[in-house]
Amino acid sequence: MPTIKIESEKCKGCSLCIDVCPYELIRQERTINHQGYQYVVLADPEEQCTGCTLCALMCPDICIEVFK
């Protein structure tokens, strides 16, 4: 089943991935990482991710890997 892996310590919480996911699968945490940013996580890992890579394409910090 397609899924993504987000390296939360690298994430800067820019939310570009959130906006681009067609299924709104990514959401921002309220807690912050060591860099001081509210990182994002895959909200619903079991379900709809199609592995379309759109989120990864947008991510400027290359914290998203996509598996299919």
Q: Which residues in this chain contact another protein in the complex, by CB under 8 A? A: 1-3, 9-10, 12-16, 19-20, 32, 34-37, 51, 53-54, 56-62, 64-68
Question: With CB cut-offs between 5 and 8 Å by kind, which of ligand SF4, another protein, none does residue 32 bind?
Answer: another protein
**HEC string of 8-47?**
CCCCCCCCHHHHHCCCCCEEEEEEECCCCCEEEEECCCCC
Please tell me the total number of residues recorded for the chain in this structure. Answer: 68
Token pair recorded at residue 60: 């400027």
> For ligand SF4, what does the binding mask look like between residues 22 and 51, x meaning CB under 6 A?
-x-xx-------------x--------xxx
